[in-house]
Amino acid sequence: MRTIAIANQKGGCGKTTTAVNLAAALAEKGNRILIVDLDPQGHATIGLGCEPDGLDKTIYDALTNPQIAISTVITGTNVEGLKLVPSNVLLSGAELELANVLGRELVLGEQLRAVSDEYDICVIDCPPSLGLLTLNALIASTDVIVPVQVNYYAMEGLKQLLETANIIKVRFHPCSVKILGLLLTFVENRIIFSGQIQQQMREYFGDLVFDTVIHRTVRLAEAPSAAESILTYAPESRGAAEYTALAEEVINGRLSAEERINDEDEAEEVVDSQPSEEGASNDENVAEEVVDSQPSEEGASNGENVAEEVVDSQPSEEGASNDENVAEEISNVEI
């Protein structure tokens, strides 16, 4: 099972919106999706139509009680193929209860391995911090998507998260987590500064930034109040199209920087191997000169006519005989 954590220690950058709508978009493509709400605010739970306060079991129980399997906490949603591990405010006390537990950073990963054969992709909505809950999510994950709001403060917080992901890979085994990409959110094309931040992000992080960006739209803001994802609330909206495009990038993957450079080099070699327009033009001119240097049909015909005239101008055998007879007659007339 592929596990994708949606993480950023900065709040208000679109983590829950991305987790809910990306999970829904992946499910609509026929994947078996599990979304884990690891935020004590329970917004992903609310956004998928569940009431946090009315739940018998939540992710809190699975993390703090080894006797409770995560499979008993999973509940259905209004999206076909999408299941939810819900959360509520009780989760805020989980870090304190796990403080003295040996291997507390690995608890979530162990629970998810028990259901890994039942799902294709797991999406984890992380809390806005780099505490024990987020650490559990990162260690359990194979990939991390970092939503980044297009403003200056959002850029400043990225360094710490990227460093944390690298430290986790070194200190915890097995852990192969990697940053899948940075997702630009709350983009507004009418604001010049928003475009400048986008440009800076792409210049600095390069291919790490997703091609897809998420614009600020009214429909995206309205969907949680209807307890639906944007794909069921407004399937024809811009937000639905953008999260569907993001799902395509996640499923199909993107070329790394090295692969893109190799492809560009191969394309250049193919172009260089083809004759240039100037070379082709020179070849055509040479061919025309060769054609012009050969006699045309009209010229050949004129040459034949001249030859015939020359032949006609030479005396024939009959004419020569007549001349001899005249000469004899003249000599006979002379005395």
239: tokens are 């937000």
Strand order in the sheet with 33-37: 75-76, 82-85, 33-37, 121-125, 2-6, 143-149, 178-185
In degrees rounded to 5, what are phi and psi of residue 170? -80, -40
120 three-class SS: coil
Spatial contact of 207 and 161, defined as CB atoms under 8 Å apart: no
pLDDT recorded at residue 89: 94
Run of H or E including 37: strand 33-37
Return d(Cα 184, Cα 69) in angstroms, integer.
Answer: 36
Where are the alpha helices (H) located in 90-236, listed in sequence order?
94-97, 107-113, 132-140, 152-156, 158-171, 192-205, 218-222, 230-233
Q: Which two tokens stand for residue 23?
A: 């999970």
Pairing outcome for strands 121-125 and 75-76: unpaired
CA angle centred on 225, ends 224 and 230, rounded to 5°: 40
Residue 270 contacts residue 219 (beta carbons within 8 Å)? no
Tell me the pLDDT of the chain (335 aa) as tens digits: 999 999 998 888 999 999 999 999 999 999 999 999 999 999 999 999 999 888 999 999 999 999 999 999 999 999 999 999 999 999 999 999 999 999 999 999 999 999 999 999 999 999 998 899 999 999 999 999 999 988 777 777 787 788 888 888 888 866 778 999 999 999 888 777 777 878 888 888 889 999 999 999 999 999 999 999 999 999 999 999 999 999 999 998 754 434 444 555 565 565 555 555 555 555 555 455 544 555 444 444 444 443 444 344 444 444 444 444 434 443 444 43
Do 69 and 62 meet the contact criterion of CB atoms below 8 Å apart? Answer: yes
Nearest to 293 by CA among 305, 301, 285, 281: 285
